[in-house]
Amino acid sequence: MLEINDTDATSILSFFAELPDPRSEVNRLHLLGDVIVIAICGVLANADGPSAIEKWAQLNARWLKEHLKLANGIPSRDTIRRVLTALHPLTFQRCFAQWIDSLSFLSDQQKAEQKKHIAIDGKALRRSHDKKNHLGALFIVSAWASDRGISLGQMATEEKSNEITAIPKLLDEIELENAIITIDAAGCQKNIAEQIINGGGDFVLALKSNHPKLYETVQDLFLDHLEDDFARIPVSRYEESETGHGRIEQRSYFQVTVPPDMQGRDQWVGLKTIGAAVRVYQQNGEEKSDVRYYPCSMRRNGKLFAGAVRGHWGIENTLHWSLDMTYREDESRVRNRNFAENLSWLRRLTLSLIKQHPGKQSYAMKRRMAGWSVGFLMQILTGQYT
């Protein structure tokens, strides 16, 4: 059992109280909670592994002893590594469910009326491969609440090709009710669409050539109706433009109700509309364009569809980019799979905490500041900002 002297009601630390200890009781010198709290604080304070976490804890031992038992002092790097290796990744993540709910300041009525957006996508830990044991890079499939900037969960798999099997397991671990779930082409599967609908959510799935017949049918549908600007079929539209790096990018979104006679319609549970996102941009002085198609379970709403598509890019531009730039995740050479997955979750957890802090500093600067000042670190941990 985790024991904390801190009485802050909003403190994340209390959410680990029921986490079972996987270690043998023989020669157990440190409380599980102490080790976990130190690991969370260390990663938040710019430590990238057990050695750095231990060093940070030693430098802040006096402060830590005010909040933790630490009957046998600061745990060693080997103890930190053993704990993060022994913890079952899924059980470890489940401790955060109540904390995630506590970060929402919406009323029950607002929660019922407002759809949340959850983007699901995978990322390889590029240097985690282990040729000696014939293991490729560990691949982490993440669920990211785009509207709040919070990691809801993750599932690890040995290969990107196993993403199809990891996604349903991850969906089982998150709340789908009243959520729009967006997934790249790997997750555009009939069973995944049905799982989302059965969970009370809506899906927006990227469609590519992995479904050649459906892709051709959808492409022909839009090409046919684009010729007369959708004069023969109801359509919802939304347009936006973005200027960056000296270029203008135009995006047009179209969403149509699925025709009753569309081939394959009955095989997709909940399918109501098909969306298309058209992007026109300049590259090397030349105008280029691309079109992406999306089977959707939502009724026609061009602005809502555009927000879901645009929001999905956030998992790549915000989560994955931040993990590489702020945490240097791609440089991690951790080989043990449990350890690598739990360390990966600590990165996503602490990034979620950092994103809630209202300061204007970059994420990387906030991590440095958390390392320099335990007062700033506690602001991020407790959500009590000054």
Does residue 255 surpass a pLDDT of 80?
Answer: yes
Q: How far is CA 298 from CA 26, 57, 323, 383, in A?
A: 55, 49, 32, 35
State yes or no: pLDDT of 127 exceeds 70: no
First to last CA, the chain: 31
| Between residues 385 and 50, the one the model is more confident about | 50
46 in any annotated domain: yes
pLDDT, one tens digit per residue, over 140-175 is 899 998 888 888 999 988 766 678 889 999 999 999
Both 263 and 153 in one domain: the answer is yes
Cα gap 169→182, rounded to integer Å: 16
Number of domains in the chain: 2
Least confident of 262-271, 286-295, 323-332, 351-360: 323-332
d(CA 314, CA 356): 16
* Mean pLDDT value across the chain: 86
**Domain containing residue 227:** 102-325
Question: Does 5 have pLDDT greater than 60?
Answer: no
Residues of the chain with pLDDT > 90, as a percent, come to 51
Are 82 and 107 contained in the same domain?
no
Could you tell me if 83 and 106 lie in one domain? no
Q: Does residue 335 sit within a domain?
A: no
* Residue 7 counted as domain residue: no
Per-residue confidence (pLDDT) for residue 100, from 0 to 100: 66
Q: How far apart are CA 234 and CA 214, in angstroms?
A: 21
Residue 312 shares a structural domain with residue 376 = no
* In a shared domain, residues 133 and 62: no
Percent of the chain whose predicted confidence (pLDDT) is above 70:
87
Single-letter amino acid, residue 159: E
> Looking at per-residue confidence, does 139 or 298 come out higher?
298
Residue 268 lies in a domain: yes
Q: Are residues 200 and 254 in the same domain?
A: yes
Q: How confident is the model at residue 105 (pLDDT cuts 50, 70, 90)?
A: very low
Same domain, 52 and 142: no
Which one has a higher pLDDT value, 288 or 72? Answer: 72
- Amino acid at the residue 238: Y
Of 249 and 136, the one with more pLDDT: 249
Instruction: Give the length of the chain.
Output: 386
Q: Is residue 234 part of a domain?
A: yes
Same domain for 368 and 307 = no
**Is there a domain that residue 283 lies in?**
yes
**Sign of the C-alpha dihedral computed for residues 174, 177, 180 and 185 taken in this order:** positive
Regarding whether 270 and 157 lie in a shared domain, the answer is: yes
Structure-model confidence comparison of residues 132 and 46, the more confident one: 46
pLDDT tens digits for range 35-63: 999 999 999 999 999 999 999 999 999 99
- Residue 161 is predicted with a pLDDT of 64
Residue 94 included in any domain: no
d(CA 294, CA 309): 9
Q: Give the span between the Cα atoms of 254 and 222, in whole angstroms.
A: 9
Q: What CATH number should be reported for the domain holding residue 112? A: 3.90.350
Q: What SS3 state is found at 251?
A: strand
Highest-scoring range by mean pLDDT, 51-60, 240-249, 256-265: 51-60
Structure confidence at residue 23 as a pLDDT band (50, 70, 90) = confident
Evaluate whether residue 284 is within a structural domain: yes
Do 172 and 257 lie in one domain? The reply is: yes
Q: What is the C-alpha to C-alpha distance for residues 50 and 56, in angstroms, rounded to an integer? A: 10
The tokens describing 95, both together, are: 């401790």
**Span 360-378, average pLDDT:** 94
Asked if 311 and 184 sit in the same domain, the reply is yes
Residue 8: predicted pLDDT? 46
Q: Which two tokens stand for residue 37?
A: 């709290």
- Looking at the fold, whether 220 and 299 belong to one and the same domain comes out as yes
Q: What is the pLDDT of residues 166-207, one digit of tens each?
A: 999 999 999 999 999 999 998 999 999 999 999 999 999 999
Q: Is the pLDDT of residue 107 over 70?
A: no
